[in-house]
Amino acid sequence: MTQQNKHSLFPNIHNDSLTQNIEGLDQDNKKISAKIIKEGALTIFLNNQEIVTLMCILDHPIYLAIGYLLNQNMIGEKDKIRSIDFDKDLNLIVVRTNKKTNYEKILKKKVITSGCAQGTVFGNIYEEIGKIKITSKIIIRHKWIYEISKKINQIPSLYLEAGAVHGCVIINKNKPIIYMEDVGRHNAVDKISGYMFLNNINPENKIFYTTGRLTSEMIIKTVKMKIPILISRSGFTSWGVEIAKKTNLTLIGRAKGKRYTILSGHKRLKY
Q: What is the CATH number of the domain that holds 64?
A: 3.10.20.10
| Domain presence at residue 3 | no
Say whether both 104 and 150 belong to one domain.
no
Q: What is the pTM of this model?
A: 0.88
* pLDDT tops 70 at residue 112: no
In a domain, 185, yes or no: yes
Q: Does 107 lie in the same domain as 147? A: no
- Co-location of 146 and 121 in the same domain: no
> In this structure, is residue 1 part of a structural domain?
no
Same domain for 151 and 86:
no
Last residue of a domain, one of 98, 129, 160: 129
Rounded to whole angstroms, the Cα distance separating 86 from 90 reads 9
- Does residue 50 sit in the same domain as residue 111? yes
Q: Where are the beta strands (DSSP E) in 57-128?
A: 81-87, 92-97, 110-112, 120-122
**20-35 mean pLDDT:** 96
101 shares a domain with 195: no
70 and 166 both lie in a single domain: no
Residue 62 lies in a domain: yes
CA distance 94 to 204: 29
SS3 269: strand
Q: Are strands 229-232 and 250-256 parallel, antiparallel or unpaired?
A: parallel
Contact 37, 183 (CB under 8 A): yes
Q: Are residues 145 and 219 in the same domain?
A: yes
Task: Tell me, yes or no, whether 104 and 146 share the same domain.
Answer: no
Q: In the listed set 104, 129, 154, which residue is the last one of a domain according to the structure?
A: 129
Return the ∠ at Cα 146 (arms to 257 and 242), rounded to 5°: 90
C-alpha to C-alpha distance for 96 and 48, rounded to whole angstroms: 8
Cβ neighbourhood burial of 256 (10 Å; 0-12, 13-18, 19+)? exposed
User: Based on the domain organization, do 191 and 221 belong to the same domain?
Assistant: yes
Q: Is residue 26 part of a domain?
A: no
Contacts of 85-91 with C-beta under 8 Å, sequence gap 24+, read 86/61, 86/62, 90/43, 91/40, 91/41, 91/42, 91/43, 91/58, 91/61
Q: What confidence score (pLDDT) does residue 99 get?
A: 79
Final residue in a domain of this structure, among 99, 129, 159: 129
pLDDT > 60? residue 108 = no
29-84 tens-digit pLDDT: 999 999 999 999 999 999 989 999 999 999 999 999 999 999 888 898 888 999 99
Expressed as residue numbers, the domain containing 50 is 40-129
Residue 14 lies in a domain: no
Q: Are 198 and 222 in contact (CB under 8 A)?
A: no
Q: What is the pLDDT of residue 114?
A: 45
Whether pLDDT at 182 is above 80: yes
CB 227 within 8 A of CB 203: yes
Helices (H), 109-183: 125-129, 142-153, 158-162
Give the model's pLDDT for residue 9: 94
Work out how many domains the chain is built from and give that number: 2
* Within-domain flag for 98: yes
Task: Say if residue 159 is in the same domain as residue 240.
Answer: yes
Same domain, 263 and 152: yes
Would you place residue 8 in the very low, low, confident or very high pLDDT band (cuts 50, 70, 90)?
Answer: confident
Assigned domain for 250 exists: yes
